[in-house]
Amino acid sequence: GDSVTQMEGPVTLSEEAFLTINCTYTATGYPSLFWYVQYPGEGLQLLLKATKADDKGSNKGFEATYRKETTSFHLEKGSVQVSDSAVYFCALSAHNTDKLIFGTGTRLQVFP
Amino acid sequence: NAGVTQTPKFRILKIGQSMTLQCTQDMNHNYMYWYRQDPGMGLKLIYYSVGAGITDKGEVPNGYNVSRSTTEDFPLRLELAAPSQTSVYFCASSQGGTPEETQYFGPGTRLLVL
């Protein structure tokens, strides 16, 4: 079945460091891909998404590119801030369905 | 615009007790979802609804029931609480249920079954 694999956390960085969180997926057809973020004590909120191959989603300085050839959707940010500390979830919704399948989440901790 | 609201925020149940987790959205979304999030795991879909009066099972429906009598409300019922149901529960909604649709999440209900 469809699945999402994320790198395990926690990822610990100093402020202004470069961030990469890896995400790969397995799916039939052409899924839509998402990154959701969960700040402490809150629900998930959409960070960015991409709906077809080679699309790049971006928001708040974060970017991810839909790579069909490597079945990946890695999250990147050039310079992280303390306020980016959160849990990041990669997710997909398979072709012809609205059901989200989530990865296990990656905790990011950014220190001043 | 409150978005998706959930009550209660936190609850402790004894084994065998029952309770209802409430979820309300004010965005006039047709689709609503219940997920559970276990420690160190991603979210798993429990039940979903594509409109008032229509519900269907997700990946982990056992031990739960839902109803959808209005567009706004989608309560989740636990009939006989078990320790395995200790989790954080999230309700979500979306407009059209298409693959590229954004889901909007509530703040969650933390449930502890002892």
* Residue A74: pLDDT over 90: yes
Tokens of B70: 């209005």
Average pLDDT of the residues of chain B: 93
- Chain B residues with CB-CB distance to A36 below 8 A: 105
Q: Provide the pLDDT confidence category of residue B1 given band limits of 50, 70 and 90.
A: low
SS3 track for chain B: CCCEEEECCEEEECCCCCEEEEEEECCCCCEEEEEEECCCCCEEEEEEEEECCEEEECCCCCCEEECCCCCCECCEEECCCCHHHCEEEEEEEECCCCCCCCCEECCCEEEEEC
Q: Which residues pair with B33 in a beta bridge?
A: B48, B92
Q: Do B99 and A32 touch (CB under 8 A)?
A: yes
Average pLDDT of the residues of chain A: 93
Q: Do B107 and A41 touch (CB under 8 A)?
A: yes
Q: For B7-16, write each residue's pLDDT tens digit.
A: 999 999 999 9
Measure B97 CA to nearest chain A CA, in Å. Answer: 5
